[in-house]
Structure 1
Amino acid sequence: MDLVLLVCLAASPESCREERVLMGAQTSESRMCMVGAVPVLAEWAGDHPEWQISRWKCERPGQVRVTRNAD
C-alpha cells in the first residue's frame, strides 16, 4: 500500500504536490494502512516543516492519483 499525501507549501498554499510513501507489505489492506498512517504522517510533517499536509489516503500502487479540489 502507498500512503498518498497532497502537500502544500506553508508560505504559498496554492503550490501543492503529491508525495507517496510506501507503507510496506504488512499494510496490504486499506484498513491497516489507515491505522498505521498517523505516525508516518507525523514523521513526514516533522521532516518537512515547510510543507503542510492538505489531505492523504491509502491506495494500491497504480490507482488514480489525488487531485486538489478548487475551494
Structure 2
Amino acid sequence: MDLVLLVCLISSPNSCREERVLVSYEMTDSRACMMGAVPIIAEWTGDHPDYQVSRWKCDGSGASRLTRNFN
C-alpha cells in the first residue's frame, strides 16, 4: 500500500509533484493506511521542510495520480 502525497514548494505553491511513500507490503486495508498516515506525513514533512503536503490518499493499485487545480 502506498501513501500518495501531493507536495508543493512553500516558496512556490504552484510547483507541485507527487511523492509515493510505501506504508507496508502487507497492509492492503485502506482504512489501516488512513489511520497510520498522519505520523508518516509528519515525518515526511520534517524531512522535507521546503515542501508542504497539499493532498494525500492511500493507494494500493500504484496507478492513480493526485492533481491540484490552481483556479
TM-score by length of 2: 0.91
SS at match of 2:31: helix
Does residue 65 of structure 1 match 2:59? no
Give the deviation of 1:27 after TM superposition. Answer: 2.5
RMSD: 1.1
Sequence identity (%): 63
Question: Which of the two has greater helix per residue?
Answer: 1
Correspondence 1:1-71 to 2 at 5 A? 1-71=1-71
Name the count of aligned residue pairs.
71
**Are the equivalent residues in 1 in contact too, given 2:8–2:54 (CA < 8 A)?**
yes
| 2-11 or 20-29, larger mean C-alpha shift | 20-29
Counterpart of 1:67, as a letter, is: T
> Following TM superposition, by how much is the alpha carbon of 1:61 offset from its aligned partner in structure 2, in angstroms?
3.5
CA distance in 2: counterparts of 1:46 and 1:61, whole angstroms = 27
TM-score normalized with structure 1 length: 0.91
Q: Deviations for 1:30-51, whole angstroms, at most 9, x for unmatched residues?
A: 0000000010000000000000
Runs of 4 or more above 2 Å deviation: none
SS state of the match for residue 66, structure 1? coil
Structure 1 gaps of 5+ residues are none
